[in-house]
Amino acid sequence: MHTTKLHLHSMLVHAVLAAVPLAAAAFVLETAGITIGGFGVDVWRFVGRTALVVTLAVALPSTLSGVLERGHMYVTWHRTHKLKLALSITLLVLVAAELGAVLGHDGAGPLAGVAIVVGNTVVAAALSVYGLKMTLGRQSLARTSYQPDLLQVPPIDVLEAAARHLGEPADIIDVMGEAAQ
């Protein structure tokens, strides 16, 4: 029976990509002392730290599953794979250091704040870009050679070219030879 294989990596990365901006937003709201409705500084502090814990807790199995699943899908490590692994390790180290800073006695300093708001977001965005490149089948980081038809000289209207063939009978490829019978 045909069953669909679950891709653990693909499912885990979404939690990481949701928790990173949540931690950044909560940190900004906490630092600025903003209250929205009944949510004040204490709530933002809890949400921010929880989002960092979730990021670290899910990024580790996400990275490991990405490495293990990569071995089943690709023969070689392309530059995209290497960049994603380096970015994943960077994110793990950043978040672990940030958690140490925010849970420490002195609280988060300005460097930890910049890392939470800017660093994690940039690394997660880069991971998303490279992940999408891999998911959509392009391993190369180079520009594609694709040029839209309408940018060619003279422009080509694909619909017009196809309309010329509307009156023609359909091409039949008879692999089994059944039409000759």
Residues 6+ apart with CB under 8 A from 127: 13, 17, 84, 87, 88, 91
Distances (CA, A) of 9 to 39, 72, 147: 33, 12, 33
pLDDT (tens digit, 9 = 90+) per residue, 49-80? 999 999 999 999 999 888 887 665 566 777 88
> Which pLDDT value is given to residue 86?
94
pLDDT (tens digit, 9 = 90+) per residue, 15-31? 999 999 999 999 999 98
> Which pLDDT value is given to residue 1?
46
Q: Which residues of the chain have pLDDT under 50?
A: 1
